[in-house]
Chain A
Amino acid sequence: MDALGNLLLGFSVALAPVNLFWCFVGVVLGTIVGVLPGLGPAATIAMLLPLTLKMDHTTAIITLAGIFYGARYGGSTTSILLNMPGESSSVATCLDGYQMARQGRAGAALGISAIASFIAGTVGVLGLMLIAPPLARFALRFAPPEYFALMVLGLAMVVFLAGDSMVKALLALLVGLWLATIGTDLFSAESRFTFGQAKLLGGVDFIAATVGIFAIGEVLVNLQSRAGGEIVKLPRGIRNLLPTLQDLKDCRFAFVNGSLIGFFVGALPGAGATVASFLSYGLEKAVSRHPEKFGTGVIEGVAAPEGANNADAGGALVPLLTLGIPGGNTTAILLGGLILWGYKPGPLLIQEHPQLFWGLVASMYVGNVLLLVLNLPLVTLFAQILRLPSHVLHPFIVGISVVGVYSVNNSLFDVWLMALFGLLGYLMRKLDFPAAALILGLVLGDVMERALRQSLMMSQGDLAIFVNRPISATLLAIAAVLLCLPALRWVRAWRSEAVAGEG
């Protein structure tokens, strides 16, 4: 009852014309920022922070939060159409989204990602509204051993990202893990694999690596095959572009999976949306009846990670608003904003400023509806990009990649890095190494190594710390089961072969 009353208060704030207007501005800006690779929501919010000082504070946070979750909607667009992740959280979307686009189903992929984003975004807000304080308390039970176990679980999914050859997948994964170690080591402050380059002290930029491997690599492959010359057939009319009822049915589980994993992982301060999207993609593939089709353009493979990265936005606000703890860059700048506006973000914020919290929550319901309404018609518009002939499309992709990667750190070095990764991506495709496994290693390697070392420092080198703690033991057990699944499948295949042989 209390929540309902508060929510009504929230809607009375969120539906005030001025707030509605700024919510709209926020989500539109977010969508644009999400579509363009490079410039992310954190940088955008930081730039706009001064403008919000003259606004009402609730209006200000409604606007900025709109950019935050709006960007998650937009991120999928270039992933699907151009194999170019718009945000790091939509890298997983490339895997099946781009393949769908190549089969002429770009519209369905874009549509399902908007729908999954809407569902998961709404679940995220529901979670934020209903279980934020207990969830925040539960998330506090996650210490380094639990993070390590979670990352192991993620890496176990490489089994599912493997193409035909497990050896090649593992090799790619190891390269990814190695790339993650480049830069200044957090624990010793010493530099690793930087080759004397000050610019590598901060590590390999994730956007540069993924855009290189996915987008540039793809362009190179297409250039060589000349098959890129054929234009992808695109059905006409919005009705034929959008996902069918069957598509929605196929994604039932993906919606739930993406929403829950995204929201929960989002609430952990040390993980983030990219991890969430890969975990949810892996889970989707693990429970699928046709896991072998993942990576060839299955719609669940788009819905799960896109859902996860949107629910993550709601989850990320949980520690921020209930404890005053930011989990990532974007929430850190929101925290800075709250302080600048004169609030004291912390455990008492919701209690002392109900209008701010409930106004934000209600505006996020509104914002998600706005984003769905905004994004579905955009599907038809964006899908037209694929009608471009390849001699226009390929330079266009390279151009956007260069600008996008440059704009992350204003660094030309990153652009060269992207070119290098483009070559790597090309070679990997030619030699049939799964790029996804490398990226997974790069995403999870950093957090995993850190968590492992932190855990062992806490336990004085005793590995028992991972199995003595219930949450980490459970997660590791699930990972072990996952690793055994393909083995079971081989055994079954072998047995049925043997039976067939006998008969």
Chain B
Amino acid sequence: MKRFRYSLPVALAGVALLLPHPAASQEFKPSKQIETVVHTGPGGGSDLFARAIAEMLQKEKLISQRMQVVNKSGGGPAVAMAYLAEKKGDSHTIGFYTGVWVTNPLTTVEATVTLKDLTPVTRLVLEPAVIAVKADSPYKTVKDFIEAAKKNPKQLNQSGGTVLSRDNLMRLLLQKATGAQWNFISFPSGGERLSNLLGGHVQMMVIEPQEAGEQIRAGNLRVIATLTEKRLASLPNVPTIKEQGIDVPLIPQARGMLLPPAAPKEVIAYWEGVFDAFVKTPSWKQYVEQNQFEDAYLKGAALNKFIDALKDQMREVLKEAGAKVIR
């Protein structure tokens, strides 16, 4: 039924095709609401990211149609990815991905759709991460923590997401580089991860600086290292992990926008245009700063290269971590 509801533009397009037009290549413009798929429930990281962008795009008048956020949660990103795959060729559906869209298909049999099956259009941000401990903990540097973990193997705890999350992969890389060992306790929500750290039930957490910011200011948390190449502007006194003499590969947490499989060229071009303009707006710059993201706009071939490299890196890290890599 849906197909006939928008019969007027379709008919007009038909007429337009019949007319002897010199410029045959039609520019794409959304003609109805844009379904915007995210893999978390309302309030999750991707959900808030998508809603904020939808809001800013409208405010900056860069899109003419409403973006309707649709939550397809379940199985990490698997349900959302399968849903997008079903929308093959649909020009009014977009999605927002994160790094887990790369890792999940590598290890999950049911997750048959990979990120490259869909049509990634842009990478927008990289999320930095820091290592935080409770403010009254004895660990002032990463070395302190590692030494303590070496002295008491498997006695210290780190809270985080699933075993495939960046938190855990960073732990595995750190363990491998230093020989220390500690436990990783999975919690489904960020709230529980943080409250277990604040309650002293776990001793360490890999956390995003924005999430930790207020706890640091209130004197509840201390950041002992940043997992970044350079020091963070918001934490100028905290040395990076490399500065502290531990050389581990850093796992980028990317967020970006994509289209369903077999997206028409003009639709890709349209969204590239929208985001080219968008990342220059003050709204976007302010948003990135507020959330302490790293502005990391990529598209086209460079984006493809990034995704391939990320996939290879993840495959190696997962294998080292002892996960069963199936793709």
Could you tell me which A residues sit within 8 Å of B by CB distance?
Answer: 42-43, 45-46, 49-50, 53, 139-144, 183-184, 186-191, 194, 196-199, 201-203, 269-270, 319, 323-336, 339-340, 342, 344-349, 409-410, 450, 454, 457-458, 460
Q: How far is the CB of A210 from chain B (nearest CB, A)?
A: 18
Contact A42:B218 (CB < 8 A) given known A201-B110, A339-B290 = no
Residue of B nearest to A41 (CB): B42
For residue B82, which residues in chain A have a CB less than 8 angstroms away from its CB?
Answer: 198-199
For residue A336, which residues in chain B have a CB less than 8 angstroms away from its CB?
Answer: 43, 47-48, 51-52
Given contacts A191-B75, A332-B43, 19 further A-B contacts (CB under 8 A): A42-B43, A45-B42, A46-B43, A49-B55, A50-B55, A189-B104, A201-B108, A203-B74, A270-B192, A325-B194, A328-B189, A330-B42, A333-B42, A333-B43, A346-B217, A409-B73, A457-B185, A460-B155, A460-B183
Task: Produce 1/0 per residue, B71-93, CB < 8 A to A.
Answer: 11111101100100000000000
Number of interchain pairs (Cβ within 8 Å): 184
Asked whether B305 is an interface residue with its Cβ less than 8 Å from the other chain, the reply is no
Whether the pair A46, B51 counts as a contact (CB closer than 8 A) is yes
For residue B191, which residues in chain A have a CB less than 8 angstroms away from its CB?
Answer: 269-270, 319, 325-327, 331-332
Q: Which 6 A-B pairs have the closest CB atoms?
A: A202-B74, A346-B214, A201-B75, A332-B43, A347-B218, A140-B199
Task: Produce 1/0 per residue, B41-61, CB < 8 A to A.
Answer: 111100110011011001000
Q: A428 to B321, alpha carbons, bound, how many Å? A: 45
Q: A332 to B200, alpha carbons, bound, how many Å? A: 23
Whether the pair A410, B70 counts as a contact (CB closer than 8 A) is yes
Residue of A nearest to B54 (CB): A50
Whether the pair A186, B188 counts as a contact (CB closer than 8 A) is yes
Q: A144 to B43, alpha carbons, bound, how many Å? A: 23
Residue of A nearest to B50 (CB): A46
Q: A477 to B200, alpha carbons, bound, how many Å? A: 24
Q: A356 to B213, alpha carbons, bound, how many Å? A: 20
Q: A329 to B48, alpha carbons, bound, how many Å? A: 11
Asked whether B187 is an interface residue with its Cβ less than 8 Å from the other chain, the reply is yes
Whether the pair B78, A187 counts as a contact (CB closer than 8 A) is no
Contact A269:B42 (CB < 8 A) given known A140-B195, A189-B108, A198-B79 = no
Task: Produce 1/0 per residue, B143-186, CB < 8 A to A.
Answer: 00000000000110100001110000000000000000001111
* Residue from B108, B110, B218 having most chain A Cβ neighbours under 10 A: B110
Residue of B nearest to A336 (CB): B48
For residue B76, which residues in chain A have a CB less than 8 angstroms away from its CB?
Answer: 184, 189, 201
Partner of A144, one of B73, B154, B163, B185: B185
Whether the pair A53, B70 counts as a contact (CB closer than 8 A) is no
Q: A183 to B202, alpha carbons, bound, how many Å? A: 26
Residue of B nearest to A469 (CB): B201
Whether the pair B71, A409 counts as a contact (CB closer than 8 A) is yes
Chain B: how many interface residues by the 8 Å CB criterion?
Answer: 62
Q: A53 to B218, alpha carbons, bound, how many Å? A: 27
Asked whether B65 is an interface residue with its Cβ less than 8 Å from the other chain, the reply is no
Q: How far is the CB of A258 from chain B (nearest CB, A)?
A: 24
Contact A198:B43 (CB < 8 A) given known A186-B162, A324-B215, A345-B214 = no
Q: How far is the CB of A332 from chain B (nearest CB, A)?
A: 3
Within 8 A of A (CB), among B258-272: none
Q: How far is the CB of B235 from chain A (nearest CB, A)?
A: 15
Residue of A nearest to B189 (CB): A269
Q: How far is the CB of B258 from chain A (nearest CB, A)?
A: 18
Q: A325 to B188, alpha carbons, bound, how many Å? A: 13
For residue A50, which residues in chain B have a CB less than 8 angstroms away from its CB?
Answer: 51, 54-55, 58
Q: A330 to B157, alpha carbons, bound, how many Å? A: 29
Q: A458 to B156, alpha carbons, bound, how many Å? A: 8
Partner of A189, one of B69, B162, B192: B162
Whether the pair A186, B186 counts as a contact (CB closer than 8 A) is yes
Whether the pair A333, B48 counts as a contact (CB closer than 8 A) is yes
Contact A183:B198 (CB < 8 A) given known A198-B112, A270-B189 = no
Contact A458:B183 (CB < 8 A) given known A329-B42, A346-B218, A409-B71 = yes
Whether the pair A42, B195 counts as a contact (CB closer than 8 A) is no
Asked whether B107 is an interface residue with its Cβ less than 8 Å from the other chain, the reply is yes
Contact A46:B108 (CB < 8 A) given known A201-B74, A202-B75, A325-B194 = no
Whether the pair B198, A140 counts as a contact (CB closer than 8 A) is yes
For residue B215, which residues in chain A have a CB less than 8 angstroms away from its CB?
Answer: 323-324, 346-347
For residue A201, which residues in chain B have a CB less than 8 angstroms away from its CB?
Answer: 74-76, 78-79, 108, 110-111
Q: How far is the CB of A185 from chain B (nearest CB, A)?
A: 9
Asked whether B114 is an interface residue with its Cβ less than 8 Å from the other chain, the reply is no
For residue B79, which residues in chain A have a CB less than 8 angstroms away from its CB?
Answer: 198-199, 201-202
Residue of B nearest to A349 (CB): B214
Asked whether B109 is an interface residue with its Cβ less than 8 Å from the other chain, the reply is yes
Whether the pair B188, A450 counts as a contact (CB closer than 8 A) is yes
Whether the pair B199, A142 counts as a contact (CB closer than 8 A) is yes
For residue B213, which residues in chain A have a CB less than 8 angstroms away from its CB?
Answer: 344, 346
Q: How far is the CB of B109 from chain A (nearest CB, A)?
A: 7
For residue B74, which residues in chain A have a CB less than 8 angstroms away from its CB?
Answer: 183-184, 199, 201-203, 409
Subset of 7 A-B contacts with CB under 8 Å:
A198-B75, A198-B78, A198-B112, A201-B110, A324-B214, A345-B214, A347-B220
For residue A347, which residues in chain B have a CB less than 8 angstroms away from its CB?
Answer: 214-215, 218, 220
For residue A327, which residues in chain B have a CB less than 8 angstroms away from its CB?
Answer: 189, 191
